[in-house]
Chain A
Amino acid sequence: MRPRRLLPALMSAVVLAGCGSGFDDEPEQTDELTVMIGSSGEAETAAVEAAVQRWSEESGISVEVIPAQDLNQQLGQGFAGGNPPDIFYLGPDRFRQYAEGGSLYPYGDQITDYEDFYPALRDSYTYDGELYCVPKDFGTHALVINVDMWEAAGLTEDDIPTTWEELTEVATRLTNEDHIGLAFTGDYNPVGTFMLAGGGWFLNEDNTAVTADTPENLATLEYLNTNIQAGIFAFATSIDTGWGGEAFGTGAAAMTVEGPWIIGALNNDFPDINWRVVEMPAGPGGQGTTVFSNCWGIAANSGNHEAAVDLVDHLVSPEEQQAFAEAFGALPSRSSLESWVASEFPEQAAFSAGVRYARGPVPVVGFDSVLADFNTGLEAMVAGGATPQEVLAQLQRNGEEVLTQ
């Protein structure tokens, strides 16, 4: 190890970015575009490059695709230095930061058929009533089931859980000394999905008040904690795995709660597992799940807004979205493609269906630390060091602190 000299490193990053471009460059009119992506791998990078290439040939404008190592950090450096990429992937958590900071060019209404995008997705990228950034794909949480274990436990198609009571029941029957009934990543994402089904959430409808400490959320945490203490549910880390997909893939759990990204992991790392995906069972608050997505952000100080919008319009067209879905399994963000997905990718149907009752992640700036602290609280709850009530009270306090700042 060479202990990292944090201070100089962090600051020279700032100054380097500054020296490279000057702090307050006026946008230059350019004929070249840069696209920065946070790629999941070779397949995605190649697919984006191919799609961009098709546009370049038509428009005559050359485009450079940059796969980022750490998208958030590289974007941050680009903006701080006044020289961001023209187009980039952007998640809902960072979206709000950049929209509030005036760094994004709102172009949503210039996209062909923009109302075709799922409403839950558009919500994530709407700020001050304007659609800033159109979603490129999405994924929701669903219940992934190990079919062999399911059948070995004598369960049938009729036993697919549709309520929390049924989920408890099948988890009990699926638990034996070799594996646990249900395991999922022990953080605010899957727990948030349960909170939605329980009729609660971290924030109110328009994200202006913290609603963590409510009877609904308490009931949800108690439901989870009771089943965890009973040994039929578990957090992935408690059974020596890194995340829900690993717990499921290694056979340590018969069911998990994950998004469509688990498909790639199962195909690559655990090809022998026989799995299926069903929608999340409904809780006391009905069906609910979290929807994760990225959008195509366009920098406010990009040199060529017109070309950038045209390129994004091309990238989110139904044809290109179908190409992405075929290349790396991205679920198209246009509702008109729902039936196409259902017929082409039946194993993805449950992930796709969830978007109708889904909600996007917390979009409030500065909530990262609050949610990280909630994760710590959940760990403590499972270990018996804190009650669900205490965990929620702390979450409420921390969240209010951020919202009132």
Chain B
Amino acid sequence: MSQTPPLSSAAVGGAGPERSSAPPRQSTGRPSGQSASGRPAWRRSGRSAARAGENRVGWLFAAPAVAVMVIFILVPVGMALWVSFLEWNGQSSPFTGNYTFVGFDNYTRLLTTEGLLQRDFMTSVRNTMYYVLLWVPLVTVLSFGLALVVNQRVLKGRSFFRTVFYFPSVTSSVAISITFLFLFQGSGVVNTILGWFGVDGPQWFTDSRGLIHLLFSALGMDSPPGFLKDNSLGGLSLWDWLSGPSVAMCTIIALTVWTTSGMFMLFFLAGLQNIPVEIEEAAEVDGATPWQRFRSVTLPLMRRSITLVVTLALIGSWQVFDQVYIMSQGSPAKTTLTPAYLSYTRSFGDGQFGVGAAVAFVLFAIIVVLTVIQRWFSRERDA
């Protein structure tokens, strides 16, 4: 959270002040040449003493933040990396105490050695994969929709709705998780309401059936075709990989979509408010329908906001922990097990802190790779 405000002001509004003051520009063009080459002359006139002094002062001002970054992020990450190469039980110092250096053993056990650990890890990756596939689009579309609604100039009680939509984001995730547990009980509110429409709701938190498996069985295919069952990838059969998110996982997805959409709505709102009114008016004068205005004016101008939200959502979704810890502990049938939760249970449950740290670093690698891919897809293509 702490890192979002600077990010949002930098990325959401594109070029920031230039954008709002400049006359309407091409939607996806980069800030025009002015800012790249338009530095005042005195800045370019060699490295003066003043410049060096500026540098020192700059570092001085940045020092507290840099120190906090180093102490609380860089050093711990480095220590964790070290721990991931150890067999260490967490009861002594990982530098001078009782440990065995095992090199990449933890990583190979996780990724290539057949066994419970590999199966658990692959299961957690599968679960999160489906979580990402459902959650990221859902939360993006919903928060965009909410932002459009509360951005309307004619809406009465705008600030009321903004507060209401943002509220779940500032409420304790523990309290919300427990409320959801009650709502989605077999005899809970949700199933009661479904019952009014003659729908017999499932046992939300104990239903381990995957959505894709359910779809297959609805189509009359109850047992998996042989080639799916017999071939496996990373210790899980292809049939297991293709399960889809379980009903229980869908409940968690519903919860997190609801709680996070408010936060992402704010990012979109900031983006929407950076779109100059003149552009929309011009489009209106030109006779564009509301849909055309949205499709050809708003969406292209919101590109950077969308990239930001999708990136943050992608990163966040691989780190789901709270909800699983409180609501399901990975059950039913491990369909809500996530890498973050696996790392926790392996470390604090089994006392294998090395394995737990290795999970965290593989998770880190996955996130980096996916973010790079996503950045590549949404890069601004200059003609």
Contact = CB atoms under 8 A, between A and B. Distances in A.
Contact of A240 (B96, B187, B260, B263): B187
Interface stretch (A137-145, A318-326, A365-373): A365-373
B345 interface: yes
Contact of A11 (B80, B169, B320, B350): B80
A101 B89 contact: yes
A39 interface: no
Nearest to B181: A242
Given A376-B331, A401-B115, A103 B91 contact: yes
A1 B261 CA distance: 9
A24 B80 contact: no
A15 B256 CA distance: 30
Interface in B320-361: 320-323, 330-334, 340, 343-352, 356-357, 360
Which of B91, B187, B259, B363: most chain A CB closer than 10 A? B91
Contact of B77 (A11, A101, A376): A11
A15 B79 contact: yes
A379 B208 contact: yes
Contacts of A401: 115-116
Nearest to B76: A11
A379 B333 contact: yes
B203 interface: yes
Interface in A1-34: 1-8, 10-12, 14-15, 18, 23-24
A98 interface: yes
Contacts of A7: 77, 80, 360, 363-364
A101 B187 contact: no
B352 A1 contact: no
Nearest to A239: B186
Contact of B72 (A6, A15, A372): A15
B73 interface: yes
Given A1-B256, A372-B345, A379-B331, A10 B356 contact: yes
B79 A14 contact: yes
6 contacts: A2-B1, A6-B340, A11-B76, A11-B79, A23-B95, A24-B96
Contacts of B333: 376, 379-380
Interface string A358-370: 0000000111111
Interface in A79-128: 79-80, 82, 97-98, 100-103
A366 B92 contact: no
A76 interface: yes
A386 to B, nearest CB: 10
B92 A10 contact: no
Contact of B93 (A82, A98, A372): A82
A238 interface: yes
Interface residues on B, range: 35 or more
A1 B322 contact: yes
Contacts of B137: none
Contacts of B98: 101-102
A373 B363 CA distance: 22
**Residue picked from A3, A365, A372, most chain B C-beta under 10 Å:** A3
B120 A373 contact: yes
Taking residues whose C-beta sits less than 8 angstroms from the other chain, chain A's interface range is 35 or more
Interface of B: 1, 71-73, 75-77, 79-80, 83, 89-98, 115-117, 120, 169, 173, 176, 185-187, 203, 206, 208, 255-256, 259-260, 263, 315-317, 319-323, 330-334, 340, 343-352, 356-357, 360, 363-364
A24 B97 contact: yes
A53 interface: no
A1 B259 contact: yes
Contacts of B322: 1, 4
A12 B115 contact: no
B319 A3 contact: yes
Given A6-B343, A15-B75, A24-B93, A376 B334 contact: yes
A237 interface: yes
Contacts of A59: none
Given A1-B259, A379-B332, A379-B333, A79 B90 contact: yes
Interface string A290-328: 000000000000000000000000000000000000000
B91 A14 contact: no
A252 to B, nearest CB: 10
A156 interface: no
A398 B116 contact: yes
A375 B330 CA distance: 11
B186 A240 contact: yes
A238 B206 contact: yes
Contacts of A102: 91, 98
Nearest to A79: B91
Nearest to A1: B259
Contacts of A207: none
A343 interface: no
B76 A15 contact: yes
A10 B91 contact: no
Closest 8 CB pairs of A and B: A3-B316, A240-B186, A11-B76, A23-B93, A368-B349, A101-B91, A1-B259, A4-B321
B116 A10 contact: no
Contacts of B330: 372
A196 to B, nearest CB: 23
A368 B98 CA distance: 22
A369 B110 CA distance: 14
A268 interface: no
B258 to A, nearest CB: 9
Contacts of B331: 375-376, 379
Contacts of A10: 80, 343-344, 347, 356-357, 360
